[in-house]
Structure 1
Amino acid sequence: MLDRFLFKQIDNSPLLIFRIFFGILVSLECYGAIATGWVKKNLIDPEFTFNFIGFDWLQPLPGIGMYLYFVAMGTLGICIALGYRYRWSAAAFALLWTGVYLMQKTAYNNHYYLLVLIALIMTFLPANRNYSLDAKRDPSIRTSHMSAYIKWAIVLQLFMVYTYASVAKLYGDWLDFSIIEILFKNKKSYPIIGGLLQEPMVHSVVGVSGILFDLLIVPALLWKPTRKWAFFASIFFHLFNSIVFQIGIFPYLALAFTVFFFEPESIRKLFFKKKEPYQGDAIVVPPQKKLVLGVLSLYFLIQLALPVRHYFIKDDVLWTEEGHRLSWRMMLRSRTGITTFSIVNHTTGNSYLVNLDDYLTRGQKSKIKSYPDFMWQFAQRLKREYTERGEDISVFVNSRVSVNGKPYQEFIDPKIDLASASWNYFGHNDWILPSPSKN
């Protein structure tokens, strides 16, 4: 039964067209990051970047290096779309994109993480077996079918993303629509829809539909009677998000994934009319079956575990941020802070406030005022700087934070020397004060 479900051969048209869509979209993302100034703002202008903790060595290339880096990734996207040296191109893109993802988190976005995962998955899929330059150069690799587990791996990944996103919305500030009001408040200037987005009724519709869409979209796409309606709902939902939140290629990547839900024959007729249809019913169990199942099981166990890890960390993730990233917790909070850094110089005996403008860009300052990992990393940065001068310092943080428009509350223990504090990678950092709800 399992062999038939996973290793039955099916038409590979969805995978082929997704390869093309994926390559084009990541190319646009990379070239667009240069054109819109994203690369300059987040990787060139800053004196240093706030990388993922543990990847301090991963800093941007100097000079025009990051422009060349993104040009290279954009070009690899074109190679993926064309199916040119596909395995190498996909692997190289996955490595480079993962690098830039870990390199900075000031402009963190969940779809950057999704791109890491999909790029990694695509590296191992036979997406160049037809309608590719690789197949043209070596016709022996050309085939019209693939194993069914390829489709189901993509579907399962999407199911996890959407389901966790839906469950995460089941909390007070989403259910009373207050966070939606906050998110839409700065959209007033949008032509035509700006005023409409301020209406309480719109907040209610967006709040309810956001939960239901994320929860039901994958099952609705899988079930044939609701598939077309679900597809039209996806178009509206993702275009709405694209227009209102301007989140790059993610809405269009989400629409590209829908090719895996339609009948392969329909995809073939729409995109590859000259392609030979696959009408067989073979079950081809690979010699490395145990390895395939083992890798897939491990990967999806990790994907299941990461989004729930915050339940095993002390206090509320909305307050501490511990366990937030890599968890599909999207559009859930708005954070602001009033934060100062004080240095006590034990070598000179002086004490003074740090002028953040001397170190940080505007975007970095907005993060460092309300996110604990940014605060800790900046304290470590200051400690290294002064140590290089032969001076011993302590760094104390006075911080008040507001989450989702609530009153400002003291956030960091002002008596703790953050320069000497350690970072707990897998648990709670006790120098973060308890959330107001715990008091």
Structure 2
Amino acid sequence: MLYRFLFKKIDNAQLVVFRVFYGLLVMSESFGAIATGWVRKTLIEPKFTFSFIWFDWLQPLPGNGMYIYFAVMGILGFLITIGYKYRFSSLAFAFMWAGVYFMQKTSYNNHYYLFMLLAFMMAIFPAHKDASLDAKLNPSLRTHSMQNWIRWTIIFQLFIVYTYASVAKLYGDWLDFSFMEVLLKPKKDYFLVGEILQQKWTHKVVAFYGIFFDLLIVPALLWKPTRKIAFAFSIFFHLFNSYVFRIGIFPYLSLAFTVFFFEPQTIRNIFLKTKEIVVEKVSAPSKGRNLVLGVLGIYFIIQILLPLRHHAFEDNVLWTEEGHRLSWRMMLRSRTGSIHVKVVNKETKKITYVNLNDHLTKKQGRRVSCYPDFTWQFAQYLKEHYASNGEDVQVFVTNRVKINNGKYHEFIDPKVDLASVPWKHFLHNDWICPSQMQ
């Protein structure tokens, strides 16, 4: 039964049309990052880039190299859109985007993570076998069908993303609407809606809309009687997020995903203007089926378990941040902190207080003041910086952090030399002070 369902042939119109949207979004993200100054501010101006731990070797290209890097990604997006040299273009973009993702986390966004997963999926999927330059140049490549597991891989991935996002919102500051106040207060000067966003009733609507939209949108889109209504709610939700929260291409990517929920013939009639209907049928048996099922099984087990890993750590993830990333905990908290960094020469005992502005951008400084992995990495950076001048040093920090509208509390043990302790990926870092969140 599972084989018949996953490997039956279906119309590939959904995938082909999504490829075009995806390619356009790749172009928009890549060229837009250059035009808006994101590349300059995030990857060129900083003296030191906070990569993911274990990816310290992955640093931005020198000079204006990252402009070229993003321009190449934009060109690859164009090639994906028209379906030319698709396998190369899509795979090259996937690796290049993964490089950008892992080389910096100061501008971390869960949406970047989803985009990376999608990039590798699209490199595997046969999205170029219709309405593409590849198919035009090589007619033997053209087909109007694909196997059903391709469509359901996208749908199940979205179900995981939205479900975890909904469940994560079920905590005190979201349910009492206090986080909504924190989240929307900076938007008070927005044209037309600024004052509305400050109202208590708006906070309640946005909070509950977020929970129920994330929880119900995938089932509602799958069920034909509610599909059009769910699509209308999707348009409002994602355009609202685009305008109010300015989160780049993600709202439009989310809308593009909806093509997988409508009937293939509907998508074909609207976008491809062809009348051919592909009759669903079971694919011929092949040895690759077990491999596909095995890979999908392993992948989705990881996707289901990874967002749960924070339960294996001590203390509250909202406080420690351990297990927060890669878990679809989106737009859940605001962190604010103050920090003093003290460097002590082991030999002379000379004490130097570090001015963060001498080493970091303002945005990096804000991260260092209240995110433990940033603070630890900065300590390692200072250790190497002073070592290059022949000094062996210890690094101590005194900082206080608050979450949302809470009170400031001591965050990192000021007696611990952060330059000498290892980062624990799978265990609680006990130099993070216990949470005093109510």
What TM-score do you get using the length of structure 2 for normalisation?
Answer: 0.99
Shift of 1:282: 3.4
Cα distance in 1 for partners of 2:359, 2:437 equals: 34
Count of equivalent residues = 438
- Structure 1 residue 295: Cα displacement: 0.5
2: CA distance, partners of 1:411 / 1:114? 30
Provide the rounded CA distance (Å) in 2 between the counterparts of 1:90 and 1:423.
Answer: 34
Kept after mapping to 2: 8 A contact 1:23/1:78:
yes
Question: How far apart in 1 are the matches of 2:347 and 2:95?
Answer: 43
Partner of 1:296: 296
Identity %: 61
Instruction: Give the Å deviation of 1:117.
Output: 0.3
Determine if the alignment matches structure 1 residue 200 to structure 2 residue 200.
Answer: yes
Q: By how many angstroms is 1:389 displaced? A: 1.9
What does residue 61 of structure 2 align with?
61
Does the CA-based 8 Å contact 1:9-1:284 persist in structure 2? no
CA distance in 2, matches of 1:205, 1:422: 44
The residue correspondences of 1:360-371 to structure 2 (distance < 5 A) are 360-371=360-371
Match of 1:87 in 2: 87
Equivalent residue, structure 1, for 2:402: 402
Q: How does 1:25-424 map to 2 (within 5 A)?
A: 25-274=25-274, 276-424=276-424
Cα offset, 1:252, TM superposition: 0.2
Give me the whole-angstrom Cα distance separating, in 2, the residues matched to 1:99 and 1:21. Answer: 22
- Residue 349 of structure 1, CA deviation: 2.6
In structure 1, C-alpha distance between the alignment counterparts of 2:166 and 2:357, rounded to whole Å: 39
Q: SS at the partner of 1:50?
A: coil
Q: CA deviation at 1:275?
A: 6.0
Instruction: Identify which range, 266-275 or 373-382, moves more after superposition.
Output: 266-275
Question: Partners of 2:284 and 2:13 in 1: how far apart?
Answer: 18
TM-score (norm 1): 0.98
User: Could you tell me how far apart the structure 2 residues matched to 1:93 and 1:293 are?
Assistant: 25
Structure-1 separation of matches of 2:404 and 2:378: 24
Q: CA deviation at 1:434?
A: 0.3
Amino acid at match of 1:269: N
- SS of 1:131's partner is coil
Task: Name the CA distance, whole Å, in 2 between partners of 1:275 and 1:130.
Answer: 14
Distance 1:183 1:357 in 2: 27
1:235-274 deviation digits (Å, cap 9, x = unpaired): 0000000000000000000000000000001001111113
Q: CA deviation at 1:426?
A: 1.2
Please list the CA deviations of residues 360-400 of structure 1 after superposition, one character each: whole Å capped at 9, or x if unmatched.
00110111110000000000001011122221110001010
1:276 Cα deviation after fit: 3.2
Partner amino acid, structure 2, of 1:176: D
Separation in 2 of the partners of 1:119 and 1:284?
A: 28
CA distance in 1, matches of 2:388, 2:275: 64
Task: Assess if the C-alpha contact under 8 Å between 2:51 and 2:103 holds in 1.
Answer: yes
Instruction: Give yes or no for contact 1:309–1:323 (8 Å, CA) kept in 2.
Output: yes
Aligned to 2:42, the other structure's residue is in SS state helix
Q: Which secondary structure does the structure 1 equivalent of 2:428 belong to?
A: coil
- State how far apart, in whole Å, the 1-side matches of 2:130 and 2:432 are: 54
Unaligned runs of 5+ in 2: none
Listed as ranges, the gaps of 5+ residues in structure 1 are none
1:342 partner SS: strand
Contact 1:147 1:284 in 2 (8 A): no
Report the 3-state secondary structure (helix = DSSP H, G, I; strand = E; otherwise coil) of the residue aligned with 1:27. Answer: helix
Give distance in 2, aligned partners of 1:76 and 1:92. Answer: 8
Q: Could you tell me which amino acid in structure 2 is paired with residue 150 of structure 1?
A: I
Tell me, yes or no, if the aligned pair for 1:3 and 1:285 is still in contact at 8 Å: no
Quick check: 2:406–2:437 contact (8 Å CA) kept in 1?
A: no
1:88-118 per-residue CA deviation (whole Å, 9 max, x = no partner) reads 1111000000000001000111110000000
Which residue identity does 1:392 align to in structure 2?
D
Offset at 1:26?
1.2
Letter of the structure 2 residue corresponding to residue 341 of structure 1: V
Query: Alignment RMSD, CA only?
Result: 1.0
Q: Which amino acid is 1:170 matched to? A: L
CA drift of 1:352 comes to: 1.8
Q: What do the CA deviations read for 1:121-162 (whole angstroms, capped 9, x no partner)?
A: 111100001111110111111000000000000000000000
Amino acid of the residue matched to residue 226 of structure 2? T
Q: CA deviation at 1:280?
A: 4.4
| Shift in CA distance, 285/151, structure 1 to aligned 2, threshold 3 Å | farther
Distance 1:385 1:179 in 2: 39
Q: Secondary structure at the match of 1:186?
A: helix
* Distance in 2 of aligned mates of 1:114 and 1:245: 18
